[in-house]
Amino acid sequence: MKICCIGAGYVGGPTMAMIAKQCPDIPVHVVDLNQARIDAWNSDNLPIYEPGLDEVVKEARGRNLTFSTNVDEAIAEADMIFISVNTPTKTFGIGAGRAANLEFIEKCARQIAKVSKGHKIVVEKSTLPVRTAEAVKRILSSSGNGATFDVLSNPEFLAEGTAVEDLLDPDRVLIGGESPESIKALCDVYAHWIDRDRILTTNLWSSELSKLTANAFLAQRVSSINAISALCEATGADVDEVARAIGTDSRIGPKFLKASIGFGGSCFQKDILNLVYLCEHFGLREVAAYWEQVVIMNDHQKQRFSERIVKTLFNTVSDKKIAVWGFAFKKDTNDTRESAAIYVCRDLLRERARLTIYDPQVPEKSIRAELTAACSDMQGQISENDKRLIEQNVTVVSDCYEASKDAHAIAVLTEWDEFKELDFDRIFQAMQQPAFVFDGRNLLDHQKLSKVGFELHAIGKCR
């Protein structure tokens, strides 16, 4: 058995590294068109930051784990080909802003069809609209060179920041397919380290749809608690207390009830919009509207937070310095895709605030690129005004102390653990007075900070 994976991103890289680590008998070849990304996978400086990933890669790389740009060669040699390319929201044409852009999936299928000989198992690892396998199968079956294919759906449930733990000890592995032999072949790979009773098998369509549904349910919980956070702020209830009170009900459970400035990441919004688009396609308007509300609530939460900052700072942040702590969409990742921080920063910039941004893992060029994209229209055009604001009003610094010096306010946008350990007396002394903290993650010790002298504003807490 030889494995190839097309796409060396946040999913392809860690997932294949784990398979290679746990299955020393299986050669795993990860390929990507992006030479810089492949070079990074082959270096000591991996392209993604994930706790524990360096060790996993080091153990397997050079033994049975290879990274390269030789897509054709890797496909030709493999018995099992994972497709793990990006499936972003379409930004053009029919379904723009909602449907998944399946261009990269289709290109992979065509490439596989062109290069393959003999029999191959093709595994959808990317998150896809239900019934994509139908299109993949049709493309593969027109290969014309006598090759035969089975298509499986094997969606990935890892979360960034905990990818290694999630891959090592997943709640479940899901495999959808038609051919018992192909399903068994993939089960055998995972069974190297995962109990068989945690490997679920379904039909293809259930598997594809379960992935979208899981993300929709998770995002819905975040939007639900965030909706309640607004009511808490208006009434004097405390959202963390409410979350604890409802989370102890075993039917509700305690996870994914942390109120925040809104969910980010490359997938929740994309996958819900994809679900919405699918529902509309099948004429299920009410169902589409129900799920779309999760995204609408999330946008509202981000906007509410930046508005609260402006209102609290005497209705103007123009020329005020605001220290932004954290830019990644959650802690323990360098990923900024759809991070709520982008939109909060954009809104504050448009109010002419001066932002000093610090994130332990996100480089300056990613911060500037994300802000530029968020200020641009779908064609990538940005106004001169926004461009100037990003150039002149954004400074990226190397720690929280530097970010907060002379600042009027601190906005905590990512829940990095290191933010809890700082010398808050020192920070307070160096700030403009009154010194405000807007804790968008309810991360800090609010009582302690109030004693130091800060004026604290937190999510779902009334002052």
Ligand X SMILES: NC(=O)C1=CN([C@@H]2O[C@H](COP(=O)(O)OP(=O)(O)OC[C@H]3O[C@@H](n4cnc5c(N)ncnc54)[C@H](O)[C@@H]3O)[C@@H](O)[C@H]2O)C=CC1
Ligand Y SMILES: O=C(O)[C@H]1O[C@H](OP(=O)(O)OP(=O)(O)OC[C@H]2O[C@@H](n3ccc(=O)[nH]c3=O)[C@H](O)[C@@H]2O)[C@H](O)[C@@H](O)[C@@H]1O
**Residue 158 touching ligand Y (CB under 6 A):** yes
82 belongs to the binding site for ligand X (CB under 6 A): no
Please list every residue from 113 through 132 that binds ligand Y, using CB under 6 A.
127
Separation of alpha carbons 324 and 229, rounded Å: 22
Residues 247-286: x where in contact with ligand X by CB under 6 A, - otherwise, as a string: -------------------xx-------------------
Nearer to ligand Y, 325 or 424 (CB): 325
Does 267 carry a binding-site annotation?
yes
Closest approach of ligand X to the CB of residue 116, in Å: 15
Residue from 126, 143, 260, 339 binding ligand X (CB under 6 A): 126
Q: Does 71 bind ligand X (CB under 6 A)?
A: yes
Q: Is 149 annotated as a binding residue?
A: no
Instruction: Return the residues of window 151-180 that contact ligand X according to CB under 6 A.
Output: 156, 158, 160
Which residue is catalytic, options 4, 23, 108, 267?
Answer: 267
Rule CB under 6 A: say whether 86 interacts with ligand X.
Answer: yes
In the region spanning residues 321 to 350, those forming contacts with ligand Y, defined by CB under 6 A, are 329-330
Instruction: Using the minimum distance from each CB to ligand Y, give the nearer residue, 127 or 404.
Output: 127
Shortest Å, Cβ 146 to ligand X: 23
- Report how many residues bind ligand Y under the rule CB under 6 A: 20
Q: Does 66 bind ligand Y (CB under 6 A)?
A: no
Q: Is residue 37 within the footprint of ligand X (CB under 6 A)?
A: yes
Cα–Cα distance between 244 and 387 in angstroms, integer? 43
Known catalytic residue at 267: yes
Given the complex with ligand X, which of 31 and 273 has the nearer CB atom?
Answer: 31
Q: According to CB under 6 A, which one of 113, 257, 294, 309 is a site residue for ligand Y?
A: 257
Q: Does 267 bind ligand Y (CB under 6 A)?
A: yes
160 lines the binding site for ligand Y (CB under 6 A): yes
Catalytic residue list: 267
Which residues contact ligand X (rule: CB under 6 A)? 6-12, 31-34, 37, 71, 84-87, 104, 107-108, 126-127, 156, 158, 160, 266-267
Which residues contact ligand Y (rule: CB under 6 A)? 127, 156-160, 215, 218, 222, 256-258, 260, 263-265, 267-268, 329-330
